Structure 1
Amino acid sequence: MNKMIAFRGLLGLAFAVVISQSVIANNDFTVEEANTILKEDIAAAQVMSEVCPAIIGKNAKFDGNITTLTKSYLADYSDQSITLEKLQSDSEYKSVLEEARQAAKQTDKAEQQSVCEDVLNYEG
């Protein structure tokens, strides 16, 4: 299930942004499940920040949109003191991040470019 969600997060980041918070709010997920979904979305955003500059070039608007997305995901996390820096040392997050990186490597360049452009054009 984690790979499917990470892949969804990677390829449908812009779409996931819109639905993710409402999906978490409207389902009977446990706190742990909701946190895992948020970790997957944050990992997808982090992978996009690693992959997209090589595809669309360095772009301040893209960077700002990634920051906005990440902050919105962190705001929904159960531990309100969590930061991206703290997540970097979380073993589950490390695993989810690696899965997202592997999914990105297996995604063709046209799909990657489409997702990068979606993030670039995101109006949060």
Structure 2
Amino acid sequence: MKSSMFKSLSLGLLTTALMTVSVTHAATQQEENINVTPTQKITQQELAAIYVLSEVCPSLVKDDAQFEKGYSKLAQEYLPQEKDAVSALSKLSKEKKFKSILAEARTDAKKAGDAKNKEICQELTTYSN
């Protein structure tokens, strides 16, 4: 439950801060839980937003090792078919066709500001727990 709650919070913050993350909401009746999960088909914008966290967060968090664990877990959840999702994202970031999407995600992160980005980054430090 903690993991799904954090996933919900984390994805909500990503959406607000980076404005490129799309999330599928599976809304149910009032007495049932609301489940927020990544879409079946992950968008390039979502992957760019996640990658940008690897650029923004190291200077905003105190515990780099914990951030790396949380970031790795998040990346693996979005790219479960990859053996090493972090490396796959890094490789994707260098592809020509991905450059404009990545630039947009970087611009959105700048617009969000350090306070909002720090909040997201701090959440990722506890995501692996």
| 1:10–1:104 CA contact under 8 A, matched in 2 | yes
* Residue of 19, 24, 32 corresponding to 2:36: 19
**Structure 1 alignment gaps of length 5 or more:** 1-6, 26-33, 78-82
* Residue of 61, 86, 110 corresponding to 1:56: 61
Report the Cα distance in structure 2 between the residues aligned to 1:10 and 1:43, rounded to whole angstroms. Answer: 13
* Residue of 57, 70, 78 corresponding to 2:75: 70
| 1:104–1:112 CA contact under 8 A, matched in 2 | yes
Report the Cα distance in structure 1 between the residues aligned to 2:106 and 2:64, rounded to whole angstroms. Answer: 21
| 1:56–1:113 CA contact under 8 A, matched in 2 | yes
TM-score (norm 2): 0.59
Query: Which one has a bigger Cα radius of gyration?
Result: 2
Q: How has the CA–CA distance of structure 1 residues 85 and 49 changed in structure 2, closer, same or farther, with 3 Å as cutoff?
A: closer
- Secondary structure of 1:19's partner? strand
| 2:51–2:90 CA contact under 8 A, matched in 1 | no
Give the corresponding residue for 2:26: none
Select the structure that is richer in strand.
2
- CA drift of 1:122 comes to 1.5
**Structure 2 alignment gaps of length 5 or more:** 1-13, 24-34, 83-87
| 2:52–2:105 CA contact under 8 A, matched in 1 | yes
Q: How has the CA–CA distance of structure 1 residues 85 and 53 changed in structure 2, closer, same or farther, with 3 Å as cutoff?
A: closer
Aligned residue pair count = 99
2:117 maps to 1:120: no
| 1:10–1:44 CA contact under 8 A, matched in 2 | no
Task: State percent identity of aligned pairs.
Answer: 29
How much is the aligned-residue C-alpha RMSD, in angstroms?
3.2
TM-score (norm 1): 0.61
